[in-house]
């Protein structure tokens, strides 16, 4: 089961390939979906955020079966599942393909549900740990949206000259 702790890293990597490589074009879709935050959606910003996410997913893998590893797995997968739901909602709202919706819907969401059930049933996570991890991880989409709005209004540095 040690491989299971590396699954967020594999899932996030697949998701980023869908967003930025094949078929790619996520930044353009995102700017169409949320035109009010276009100034905040820069290549540099997306590279930093996604790099930090991969680093966090790597940490989950290295912590493995420890109590902290299980809690971090739950937290990261809640973040990824919320992102998958965000892509699905964006696809429905725009009636257009959101690069990332396939891996978000078909990998992130089922993996998160499976992991939550697995860790709760096995006793590796308490209900309190699962609820707290879900609240922390799923909150990412909320503060991400707020931060993008803040950056787009010029209250936070935006990578100028960066597309």
What's the pLDDT score for residue 156?
56
Q: Which two tokens stand for residue 141?
A: 């989409």
- Is 14 domain-assigned? yes
One digit per residue, the tens of pLDDT, for the chain of length 163 reads 789 999 999 999 999 999 999 999 999 999 999 998 888 889 999 999 999 999 999 999 999 999 999 999 999 999 999 999 999 999 999 999 999 999 999 999 999 999 999 999 999 999 999 999 999 999 998 888 787 777 778 765 555 444 4
Structural domain boundaries enclosing 41: 2-152
The conformation of residue 36, written as its DSSP 8-state character, comes to G
Report how many domains make up the chain: 1
- Is 161 domain-assigned? no
Rounded CA separation 85/133 (Å): 17
- Is 88 domain-assigned? yes
What's the pLDDT score for residue 153?
81
What's the pLDDT score for residue 39?
85
Q: At what angle do helices 43-63 and 7-20 cross, to 10 degrees?
A: 160
- Is 22 domain-assigned? yes
Q: Which two tokens stand for residue 13?
A: 């990597």
- Is 163 domain-assigned? no
- Is 162 domain-assigned? no
The model scores a pTM over 0.85: yes
């Amino acid at each position: 089961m040690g491989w299971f702790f590396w699954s967020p890293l594999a899932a996030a990597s697949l998701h980023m390939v869908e967003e930025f490589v094949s078929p790619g074009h996520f930044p353009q879709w995102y700017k169409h979906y949320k035109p009010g935050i276009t100034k905040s959606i820069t290549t540099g910003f997306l590279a930093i955020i996604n790099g930090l996410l991969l680093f966090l997913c790597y940490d989950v893998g290295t912590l493995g079966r420890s109590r902290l590893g299980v809690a971090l797995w739950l937290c990261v997968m809640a973040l990824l599942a919320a992102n998958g739901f965000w892509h699905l909602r964006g696809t429905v709202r725009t009636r257009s393909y959101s690069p990332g919706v396939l891996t978000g819907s078909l990998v992130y969401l089922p993996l998160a549900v499976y992991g939550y059930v697995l860790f709760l049933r096995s006793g590796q996570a308490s209900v309190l740990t699962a609820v707290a991890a879900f609240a922390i991880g799923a909150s990412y989409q909320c503060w991400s949206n707020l931060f993008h709005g803040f950056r787009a209004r010029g209250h936070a540095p935006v990578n100028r000259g960066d597309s």
